[in-house]
Structure 1
Amino acid sequence: MDLLKEIILKEASIMTSDVLKLDAVLNHQVDPVLIMEMGREFARRYAEASITKVITVESSGIPIAFATALTLGVPLIFARRKKTLIADPDAFSERVPSFTKGIVTDIMVSRQFLTPADKVLFIDDIIANGDAARGLIKIIERSGAELVGLGIVVEKSFQAGGRTIREQGIRVESLVKIASLDNGQITFE
């Protein structure tokens, strides 16, 4: 998506050679028109997959996953990062580290929303090392649902996340791939 690349070049900040700050694009502020365009693109790429639900991890993946689910006409599920008083005590759960947050959290999905009858599309904003993605993939597998693929807005291809998930035989579609953040420059694949 050329428009997304242009916006990233204009709005993103390079924090280190591993960290790209996308607050003005994905993680703090979102452009609804751009979000809907990305959702339509993911829906187009997975149109043939007979998806019954879209899934993501809270919170930054929610807008793009919502736009994708809306376009596909299916429900959206998001894995929670915090247990609440009304959370399903028997939820699927997985402990995952977060590269950008520098913490380990539990992600949880209620068993009532993810079943063996589901064909799910996993949408997320960024993939770096892929720890959160692998955690949610384990939850999907334990539920018996079929994972049809993973849609990523920004893949940092110089980190292992996207590659290791593809090595599992999972289809990964990235809207933008960043090959490097070296020398304060964003280099796209």
Structure 2
Amino acid sequence: MRVQCYFLCVILMIFLPVAGSAYKIEYAEQFYRLYHQNLYRYPEEYQENIWYLERALRSPFANPLNALARIDDREEWQRYRTLFYMHVNLELVKQYRGLASKYDKREAYFYNYPWKSANLDSLETAESCYKAALSYWKEALTWWAKLHTVDYVHLDEVEEWEDEVYRIDQGELDYGEFIALDLARLQKVRDAFEKMDQSTY
């Protein structure tokens, strides 16, 4: 009898559907919360974060009750959304630059000639990442400009986003300049690799 009960329990556990505790992720804030930073960063982590952040940009916002900051009126809601878009675009710039750095060759060493083709492919990947970062920087600047048309309202919970606005205002944060330097250096390294041949090895 005891064996039969045990057997019946096992059968029921196998064939009965189990109610999961998962929920559908559909709002921008939910995708943003999945974004994370690791101490050691590998291309897979950058790609995962890029996926989350790009989904955050394409997703609708949650109800203001579930926002990342306390929202009490329409002005706060408008400023919050504009800040959110600017901030997420800036985070995408960081992620794409980080991903590019994993493929970027800072120096074209003569002993890398046997892997010249692989290095050139790697530089091409890095260049496409830098260009993606540049496009997100331009988009962040668009949202930054819109912030100057929205009434200023202080939102405590997202104060660091306001810090980014201030740094852009003061010229302290200019990813356009950083990316231009990255692309110029990358082109020099590419030229050095393309000039390599058997005689330089």
Q: Same fold (TM over 0.5)?
A: no
Q: Which of 1 and 2 has greater Rg?
A: 2
Q: What TM-score range do you get, normalising by the shorter chain?
A: under 0.3
More strand by share: 1
- The structure carrying a bigger helix percent of its residues is 2
